[in-house]
Structure 1
Amino acid sequence: MRRIPCRAVRLRLRLVSTYCWALIGLTCPIFFVGALVVWAVTLPFDRRKVVLHFYSSAWASFYLVANPMWKVRVKGREHLPWRGGAVLVANHASLIDILVLFALMRPYKWVSKAENFKLPFVGWNMHMNDYVPLVRGDRASVITMLAHCSRHLRAGSPVLFFPEGTRSKDGRLKPFKDGAFELSVEHGVPIIPIAVHGTGRALPKHGMVLEEHVDARVEILPPLDPAAFDGVDALREAAREQIAAALGEPVARAGVRDVASTR
């Protein structure tokens, strides 16, 4: 059972949260101006927008560094390609996952719910990066999303999915949807499972109060070759089992047939 913090601790957490949200609100316009400059300067020669993605990664990492009580460690970067198609799949327990996964420091394209693209500054930057929007529950949007991801894979850019489709309320791994794995099989590119530890405690779903001491860990697991599996179902379950094992959860087959997946 989670320990309920005392009044002094709760006050300190609220102060830390206020500082973090204020910092984000004050600096997003400044970072967005920088993103506009990077986008304009690199547009003629950087078709994959790799430079802009790394700028966006630095933008996100700034908020992790600015909170000295947060620590992020990344293990297994050698499994991530610098160039070439791949489908990255990660568990999703918190909004903090987004900041933490930018610490991968490799080029890739996010698949994200369409609402995020409407956010001031952050959403505009997502458009400039050519990240992939998805309207959840909309079949036409799913088809468009898969086509958009296919273009990125053919161009040599990995794509990153949260295959649970949404954040987990209790931190436990939810069933995976099929979209990421269909792309892997169709294009013959590897699935790279990623286990994200410690972020659910940092900012639980529907929560706004940030924990002051966070030890987040990103574990990049060995790639899965789709040719080694008997179709989408087997590939999906193998990826889920790898992530579940890395998270220390019981391994159970829990796949579903829906293809959509987003944060």
Structure 2
Amino acid sequence: MTTGWTGPVLVTGTDTEVGKTVVTAAIAAAAQAAGLRVAVVKPGQTGTATGEPGDVDSVTRLAAPLTGRTLAAYPDPLAPLAAARVADLPPLELYTAVDAIREETDKHDLVLVEGAGGLLVPMGLRPSGEPWTVADLAVSLGAPAVVVARAGLGTLNHTALTLEALERRAIPAGVVIGAWPAEPELVHWANLTELAPNLIGAVPMGAGAMDPGVFRRSAPGWLTPALYGVLDDWRTWAEDAS
């Protein structure tokens, strides 16, 4: 079995809609192909009505079989704490999330915890009444973080800020490009070069629309061994993916 990250791993992003769910599915698929037992936990799902499929369902569709669990869901497409307040629903308590994730860690080799939005989005409340974030969850779990980033203009600043916030909290981290374009332009190649020292994966744009079988077979080629993939040459990969 390839050696990579185990236990709880946080999947966060530099922003919303950067590809966290598809990246989570790719990591899950690659890890399962390597023989690991995998669970995916979504602490706070927003923007889905009762009974509607959420991000865990999307991951399961692409990377099944795996254990999927959503801890709290709110109908409005807002940050989880704001969504809880607007809907007059109880916010998720930090240590409730920690306990649930540790419960899955006891039963699985790898537990992927997909955040909402970026690293410092308010997710819920501590017992003191203070908000907590994905960064606080990573610290409480002693978990590393996967930072999903855009490929285009603006990503260098957003990624650097996120990595700096993680480093200040002593959280190990790597970067995955969430959607590498089929026809990359100069800015994409330049950003790939700048991001390369921290890159541990890159997923092609449109991967979430793939047939699940094709997705599962392809996923290891998008990730480095840290995430149970086989990728080791970024420029060759990017040229092949284009």
- What TM bracket, shorter-length normalisation? 0.3 to 0.5
TM-score by length of 2: 0.36
**Higher relative strand content:** 2
- Larger Rg over CA atoms: 1
**Higher relative helix content:** 1
